[in-house]
Structure 1
Amino acid sequence: MSTAELYLVAMVVIMTVPYLIWRLGRTEYFAPLVVVQIVTGILLGPGMLGAAFPEVYQQVFNPQVIQALNGVAWWAVMLFVFLSGIELDLSQAWQNRRETGITAGFALLTPLLLGSLAAWPLLLTPGWIGPAGQSWQFVAGIGMACAVTALPILILLMEKLDIFRKPLGQRVLRYASLDDVLIWGVLALILLDWTRVARQGIFLLSFAVAALVLRRIMRAIPERDRLYVGLIWLALCGLGADWSGLHFMVGAFLAGVVIDAKWFDQDSLDRLRHNVLLVIMPVFFLSTGLRTNWTMGGAAVFLAAGLLLVASVAGKLLGVHLAGRILGWAKGEASIIGWLLQTKALIMIIFVNVLLDKQIITAEMFTALLLMAVASTMLTVPTVTPMMRRVKL
């Protein structure tokens, strides 16, 4: 078969298998389609499909097909992060800055600390830290992976729970928005390369100037042209960030953050996010699964994932409960908010993809973090639903 035919075989598998599992298995309650796609990507990776049917795996997912899939995946995830940046409304966080700052701060710092502590024994064990990673980068990266909240997936889950447009949903959105900004700031710090600091300085200075120009342009042009101009801006920011050594994903987030959501029709943005998730993000999920590795043995990877899951869940709940005590929340409120902020999936997977690209972590560590992200996200709705029946907010 030609490379084009094998690529289309891969696309048929990517689109068909997760949909059938999701629809026929009726997994929506504990695993939305996005989560099923991520799990399917892992199953189709070298550790599962590759181990069970090595000849089939090597034929379908040969280097040429993987290269083609990766190109689509890069653009897909850049679009997704870009849209996440646009949707951040920092003005709301500023208006409620005391409550938002305390809650977002504790919700980020406690899982970061517990995750960093959990990373230390892994740091001392061969096979988890990447060849280019320094100890502090590894520890900070794992800690932040435990602290991440996936804002876009959180929105999907809150819509499912029918709280997105309600006061509780808007509060949770503020907390997650502020954490999103801090997460990408920490990633930029982790990736700071002193041998390329001049390039990074040039990029950040150029970005600041260009962002001011872009905002003037966006206000001046009609709405129908803004998205197209935004996509050009996205590609340029991704290119500049990657050239400077910060990774194109940091550039994609920065490109979105400086654009105001009010410049667009909100329904159009929602449809675009939905279409990106439906049409091209499944390719990213598969390419993510293809990067998983089980050569250390499944038991070791699952043990690491379990350790990180405990650190992540305990840290997030502890942090939010501390914030709730300071702010005088009602009984049960902190548990609901803590579990909602526990949602990880996409943003955490994007975050650790960057760490893997930069060789700060190994494929085995990446696999453990991926399992932790899937487990924490799948726990959210089944845990929160009965809590909300008991507590009226």
Structure 2
Amino acid sequence: MHMSPTEVFLLAMLLIFAAPYAVWRLGRTDHWAPLVVVQIVGGILLGPGVLGAAFPAYYATVFTPASIGALNGIAWWAVMMFVWVAGLELDLGEAWRSRRETGTTAALALVTPLVTGSLAALVMLRFPGWRGPAGADWQVVLGIGMACAVTALPILVLFLEKLEILRLPLGRRVLRYASLDDIAIWGVLAAIMLDWERVTRQAGFLAGFALATWAIRRLMPRLPERDRWYVSLVWLAACGFAADWAGLHFMVGAFLSGAVLEARWFDEETTDRFRHFVLLAVMPVYFLSTGLRTQWGMGGTAVFAAAALLLVASVGGKFLGVRIAGRLLGWPKGEATTIGWLLQTKALIMIIFVNVLLDKHIVTNETFTALLLMALASTMLTVPMVSKRIAVYRRTAGEGKVSAGAP
């Protein structure tokens, strides 16, 4: 049966939204796999590596070049808005007021898994098939190491809301740690993307961005809030275009466009609704486009083995760093374990980060797939491992205590 391009596109959208929701709701997976995780897994299953390989006729019918092009356009804009909100929600003022505790914890929670992840990357590079055609060894090692170290701030916010501690002292502390790490990952990405053949453009982008930031920060407070949202989207598109033109990738521009704005210029409840809308209405398309990139060309065994190695490096490194911070800062017993599990949340930001490395051919599809599996596993572990400990924290917080540990 011949279908028009519009019908093919809408059939793809139907699959993107209906299949993961049915699994999430009917399977009652929310405790160990929230909807956002099921959507990412759904993207993998609907892609060429699983259902596409088992049913090539289905894949060729639904994911035509025209439909993939339309879906990619939605996915690019969706993820730009998502990253913009992540940058907007950084609270650097509060981080500065608690700079010793925040700086110590954020640094150790980032550097330790960065080191363990980089060591895992060195092991992987002993075998062919993990380094992309345009990637130097140092770029691959640093990229994989940072992917093991990152915490996904927007997904962490959703998990803290689910656990009912977002506005409690522990939730605010964890957000501060993750905020500084979010800044670091985009800085590392910019360093990896540095192109000496386009360094003049990149320097021009940074100079122009500094001037434009001064102007937008003077303009925003003078606008009514409704206009600030619209102007922010114009600002987002302009920064994304300029960063991509300079060779830094549009994601770097998207994050910077939010990071230089003040969250207090936007109503908190409206910001929450905007983030939830992006996650609900357009980010599932990005998850599908992510799934379309998964490949198993080296064989499933090698990819799963690499994912297991990266998971051990990521989880172990994060726990080691947070435990060292807890010892240095004198945290109550059990608190480092709780915070360590909360900071395991990776999912979207790591996937976005590695998508950029794949776009630039620094890593291969197999490396991307292994990192994607690692991100999903670490994120799915977070809520089950921490929910009982958080229940104790909420109870003791109500009694005026601060320990996040189990009894």
- TM category (shorter chain) comes to over 0.9
Q: Which letter does structure 1 place at the counterpart of 2:216?
A: L
Q: How does 1:219-368 map to 2 (within 5 A)?
A: 219-368=221-370
Report the counterpart of residue 6 of structure 2 in structure 1.
Answer: 4
Cα deviation for residue 126 of structure 1 reads 1.1
Q: C-alpha separation between the residues in 2 aligned to 1:289 and 1:224?
A: 35
Deviation sequence 1:153-186 (CA, Å, 0-9, x none): 1011111111111100000010000111111111
Q: Which letter does structure 2 place at the counterpart of 1:83?
A: V
Q: C-alpha separation between the residues in 2 aligned to 1:355 and 1:277?
A: 23
Report the counterpart of residue 88 of structure 1 in structure 2.
Answer: 90
Report the counterpart of residue 49 of structure 2 in structure 1.
Answer: 47
Secondary structure in structure 2 of the residue aligned to 1:47: coil
Cα deviation for residue 314 of structure 1 reads 0.2
Q: C-alpha separation between the residues in 2 aligned to 1:204 and 1:375?
A: 36
Preserved contact between residue 115 and residue 145 of structure 2 (Cα < 8 Å): yes
Deviation sequence 1:109-131 (CA, Å, 0-9, x none): 00000000000121221111100
Report the counterpart of residue 386 of structure 2 in structure 1.
Answer: 384
Deviation sequence 1:340-367 (CA, Å, 0-9, x none): 0010001000000000001000011000
Q: C-alpha separation between the residues in 2 aligned to 1:387 and 1:313?
A: 18
Preserved contact between residue 163 and residue 390 of structure 2 (Cα < 8 Å): no
Q: Which letter does structure 1 place at the counterpart of 2:87?
A: G
Q: Which letter does structure 2 place at the counterpart of 1:205?
A: A
Cα deviation for residue 387 of structure 1 reads 3.0
Report the counterpart of residue 99 of structure 2 in structure 1.
Answer: 97
Report the counterpart of residue 60 of structure 2 in structure 1.
Answer: 58
Q: Which letter does structure 1 place at the counterpart of 2:159?
A: L
Q: C-alpha separation between the residues in 1 aligned to 2:74 and 2:290?
A: 12
Structure 1 stretches lacking a partner, 5+ long: none
Cα deviation for residue 222 of structure 1 reads 1.4
Report the counterpart of residue 204 of structure 2 in structure 1.
Answer: 202
Report the counterpart of residue 182 of structure 1 in structure 2.
Answer: 184
Secondary structure in structure 1 of the residue aligned to 2:167: coil
Secondary structure in structure 1 of the residue aligned to 2:233: helix
Report the counterpart of residue 139 of structure 2 in structure 1.
Answer: 137
Report the counterpart of residue 37 of structure 1 in structure 2.
Answer: 39
Secondary structure in structure 1 of the residue aligned to 2:49: coil
Q: C-alpha separation between the residues in 1 aligned to 2:16 and 2:390?
A: 35
Q: Given the alignment of the two structures, is residue 218 of structure 1 paired with residue 220 of structure 2, yes or no?
A: yes
Cα deviation for residue 226 of structure 1 reads 0.5
Q: Which letter does structure 1 place at the counterpart of 2:113?
A: P
Q: C-alpha separation between the residues in 1 aligned to 2:389 and 2:166?
A: 16
2:29 aligned to which of 24, 27, 30: 27
Deviation sequence 1:57-107 (CA, Å, 0-9, x none): 111111111111000000000000001101111000000000000000000
Q: Which letter does structure 2 place at the counterpart of 1:78?
A: M
Report the counterpart of residue 15 of structure 2 in structure 1.
Answer: 13
Q: Which letter does structure 2 place at the counterpart of 1:79?
A: M
Q: Which letter does structure 1 place at the counterpart of 2:40?
A: I
Q: C-alpha separation between the residues in 1 aligned to 2:332 and 2:306?
A: 35
Cα deviation for residue 390 of structure 1 reads 5.6
Q: C-alpha separation between the residues in 1 aligned to 2:114 and 2:293?
A: 25
Q: C-alpha separation between the residues in 2 aligned to 1:288 and 1:214?
A: 33
Report the counterpart of residue 117 of structure 1 in structure 2.
Answer: 119
Cα deviation for residue 386 of structure 1 reads 2.8
Deviation sequence 1:243-275 (CA, Å, 0-9, x none): 000000000000000111111111111100000
Secondary structure in structure 1 of the residue aligned to 2:130: coil
Report the counterpart of residue 399 of structure 2 in structure 1.
Answer: none
Q: C-alpha separation between the residues in 1 aligned to 2:212 and 2:389?
A: 47
Q: C-alpha separation between the residues in 1 aligned to 2:235 and 2:243?
A: 12
Q: C-alpha separation between the residues in 2 aligned to 1:265 and 1:158?
A: 19
Cα deviation for residue 304 of structure 1 reads 0.4
Q: C-alpha separation between the residues in 2 aligned to 1:390 and 1:125?
A: 46
Structure 2 stretches lacking a partner, 5+ long: 397-402
Cα deviation for residue 389 of structure 1 reads 4.7
Q: C-alpha separation between the residues in 2 aligned to 1:221 and 1:285?
A: 34
Q: Which letter does structure 1 place at the counterpart of 2:90?
A: L
Q: Which letter does structure 1 place at the counterpart of 2:156?
A: L
Identity of aligned residues (%): 68
Cα deviation for residue 295 of structure 1 reads 1.0
Q: C-alpha separation between the residues in 2 aligned to 1:367 and 1:63?
A: 22
TM-score of the pair, normalised by structure 1: 0.99
Cα RMSD (Å): 0.8
Deviation sequence 1:278-307 (CA, Å, 0-9, x none): 000000000000000011111110000000
Residues 273/389 of structure 1: CA separation in 2 closer, same or farther (3 Å cut):
closer
Q: C-alpha separation between the residues in 2 aligned to 1:123 and 1:245?
A: 26
Report the counterpart of residue 164 of structure 1 in structure 2.
Answer: 166
Q: C-alpha separation between the residues in 2 aligned to 1:383 and 1:273?
A: 25
Q: C-alpha separation between the residues in 1 aligned to 2:388 and 2:301?
A: 32
Q: C-alpha separation between the residues in 2 aligned to 1:330 and 1:94?
A: 23
